[in-house]
Amino acid sequence: MSLVEVARDGRGVVTVTLADEAKRNALSRRLLGELSSVLDEVDADPEVRVVVLTNAGRVFCAGADLRESSAPADDSTPAVRAGDLFGRFRRSPKPYVGRIAGHCVAGGMGLAAAMDISIASDDAKFGFTEVRVGVAPAMISVLCLPKMRRADAAAAFLRGNRFDAAEAARLGLINTAVPAESLDDEVETVVSDLLKGSPSALAACKQLVDRVPEMPFDDALAWAQRLSAELFAGDEAAEGMDAFLNKRTPAWVPDSGQER
């Protein structure tokens, strides 16, 4: 039985579900390998517009598989490092939406932070619990620290306590927390918005968020100017502007009846 389930709809939206409930969706070698293979498929498929990552069961992701981590390496399973996987979400041209319908701790925090947009059920618990098993949130700090104030990060990392989804949103680790019964509606609202953007424009927005904060001002301005010129000269810009001027829906929007 697969630990990662994949479902597609007619709009180009792929829902990827972590389905290893017995291990609380821990980042085992097998789960990481299956998730990596799914990313290979969706990132290479031009028909895929948006990817939603969610969970089966009460836990989104419990972090590393501690039993597996303390056992001898199993060479029969291809090794995929969690850090490499998290980096792929950031580098992908496609938007990834986290539908966090369960608890999210330790390495799971990195998975949530790797999403472009994350929405959590307000009954989910979060936490950097690594210090309580003798390690530190080292690898996931690369994803989480840019989203957090230094004082908040120090307290969360050092205490290792669990906190609710509203606090995770305040810390900047996720975008919002909503009642469990509203989770699907909120995710659908975000997905519908994303489908109204052109694929190349969405990919460019991800580059802006990723690269501009790390660049010196003048370098960022020059790079952004080149990117803007490329986008304005592209076919999608021509389509989008023509659609705007003629009050019609751009061709990339799946539902022609949707509001621009």
Q: What is the CATH number of the domain that holds 135?
A: 3.90.226.10
pLDDT of residue 68: 87
Residue 170 belongs to a domain: yes
Q: Domain range for residue 113?
A: 4-194
Residue 155 belongs to a domain: yes
Q: Are 112 and 57 contained in the same domain?
A: yes
> pTM to 2 decimals?
0.93
pLDDT of residue 75: 58
User: What is the percentage of the chain residues whose pLDDT exceeds 90?
Assistant: 90
Per DSSP, the residues of the chain read --SEEEEE-TTSEEEEEE--GGGTT-B-HHHHHHHHHHHHHHHH-TT--EEEEEESSSEEE--B-HHHHTSPP-TTS----HHHHHHHHHH-SS-EEEEE-SEEETHHHHHHHHSSEEEEETT-EEE--GGGGT---HHHHHHHGGGS-HHHHHHHHHH--EEEHHHHHHTTSSSEEE-GGGHHHHHHHHHHHHHTS-HHHHHHHHHHHHHGGGS-HHHHHHHHHHHHHHHHTSHHHHHHHHHHHTT---TT-S-TTS--
Q: Are 40 and 167 contained in the same domain?
A: yes
pLDDT of residue 256: 43
Residue 238 belongs to a domain: yes
Query: How many structural domains does the chain have?
Result: 2
Q: Are 74 and 27 contained in the same domain?
A: yes
pLDDT of residue 67: 85
pLDDT of residue 77: 53
pLDDT < 50 stretches in the chain: 256-260
Q: Are 174 and 84 contained in the same domain?
A: yes
Boundary (domain end) residue, out of 151, 166, 194: 194
Q: Are 181 and 206 contained in the same domain?
A: no
pLDDT of residue 1: 86
Q: Are 159 and 240 contained in the same domain?
A: no
Q: Are 184 and 205 contained in the same domain?
A: no
pLDDT of residue 260: 42
Question: What's 203's domain CATH number?
Answer: 1.10.12
